[in-house]
Amino acid sequence: MKKTLIIFGTRPEAVKLAPLVKKIESYPDRFQSVVCVTAQHRQMLDQVLNLFKIKPHYDLDIMKPDQTLFDVTCNALIGLKTVLEKERPDIILVQGDTTTTFVAGLAAFYLKIPVGHVEAGLRSFDKFRPYPEEINRKITSHIADLHFAPTQKSRENLLREGIDERKIWVTGNTVIDALLMVAEQVSGNTHKWDSFFSEMWGGAFHDKRIILITGHRRESFGEGFQRICHAIKRIALDHKDLMLIYPVHLNPNVQEPVKNILGGIGNIHLIEPLDYEPFVYLMTKSHIILTDSGGIQEEAPSLAKPVLVMRDVTERPEAVEAGTSKLVGTDVAKIISETERLLTDNEYYQKIIHTRNPYGDGKASERIVETLQNVL
């Protein structure tokens, strides 16, 4: 019996680790599963915990208004010290590139506890884009003992940094596991979500092509976000037949420019952040997705949706190389022109949506658990 302690703090981490939590819990004779959340995000994290029916053993509840990276780092580190000293797990498991991930790895290192890093090896090779995620994941890689890389390219990145190849396993990305689980739930509840959104928008929901938008990257705050909003505004005004749906991140640096520039435009719907299940439903209904999110770049190909990535660089080049997504940065003209092409060039659109997802087949969690059984 080996004790695993899974630590996460944000909604994206929760989505990507939920299938792994469930898979580990399905082997009670082999693993004692402990879950700790820092609650670096609060409301958005709780949505995912409820959806996947995960009840953490520890909740540090560190989120506070206008928190800084200093706040998150210090509070999580102190809180995790207590948890790790009490539990003394055989291994901690962390995911991706958040401040919680970096801090959990650091805390485990201080106490000489092994670290398994899920979604290891992603790199943009620009330490400020995405910020602070690029440095978070690089530091975590040099602390971690086991590296679960989503793709061969991620594995190669780790090898170039001197990581022992015997400590790297290519597993696919667990976000595909989560997406397929929830997409199955959505397909069994289409009437529920059809009614929910039709009621929200007065029955117009089914009559429009949908562009789904998300944006919250810290490095775009300020002029970058203003450019993104002006591009979206132009698209909406030039295509009154479109329905643009934007679940707006709660960060004031996002809320202010989005509401100032996009508020009051009839075919733009600014809504509160959605639970993961209705968000997956909107992804299935969308024609195009505009985003700066990393996870959506991985998810959308499995739903046959083209993605325009509103970032200058991405740590997920596999999707760009495969053709399932395209980098458009925060350039107004580029965002508009690439959206126009997807709206008008059907041959181009069809080629994108029929491209295989480079991020996996939905069995990443199974591969990780098999590796843990063999290694531990």
Q: At 164, which helix (H) or strand (E)?
A: none
- For 269, phi then psi, to 5°, come to -115, 105
- Determine the Cα–Cα distance for residues 210 and 282; give it in Å rounded to an integer: 9
| 3-state DSSP percent of the chain in helix, strand and coil, to 5 | 50, 15, 35
User: Which member of 129, 216, 217, 367 is catalytic?
Assistant: 216
Q: 123 — phi, psi (to 5°)?
A: -145, 140
Evaluated on CA atoms 354, 358, 363, 365, the torsion sign reads: negative
Task: Write down the catalytic residue from 147, 249, 269, 367.
Answer: 249
Helix and strand numbers (H, E) in the chain are: 16, 13
Catalytic residue list contains 119: yes
Q: How far is CA 276 from CA 11, 26, 47, 233, 247, in A?
A: 9, 23, 7, 26, 11
Q: Which of 87, 97, 315, 338 is catalytic?
A: 97
**216 is known as an active-site residue:** yes
Kindly tell me the burial class for residue 344, based on how many C-beta atoms sit within 10 Å of its own C-beta (0-12, 13-18, 19 or more). exposed
- 13, 87, 133, 219: the active-site residue: 133
Dihedral sign of CA atoms 322, 315, 285, 346 in order: negative
Q: Is 218 a catalytic residue?
A: yes
Type of residue found at 71: D
How far is residue 298's CA from residue 61's CA, in Å, rounded to a whole number?
A: 29
Place of tokens 């990257």: 217
With 0-12 / 13-18 / 19 or more C-beta atoms within 10 angstroms meaning exposed / middle / buried, residue 101 is buried
DSSP symbols for 264-301: T-TTEEEEPPPPHHHHHHHHHH-SEEEE--HHHHHHGG
Catalytic residue check, 133: yes
> Given 30, 42, 209, 218, which residue is catalytic?
218
Q: Look-up: residue for tokens 């929910």?
A: 196
Considering 119, 219, 277, 298, which one is annotated as catalytic?
A: 119
Residue by residue, DSSP assigns 44-91 as HHHHHHHHTT---SEE-----TT--HHHHHHHHHHHHHHHHHHH--SE
Q: Catalytic residues, which ones?
A: 97, 119, 133, 216, 218, 249
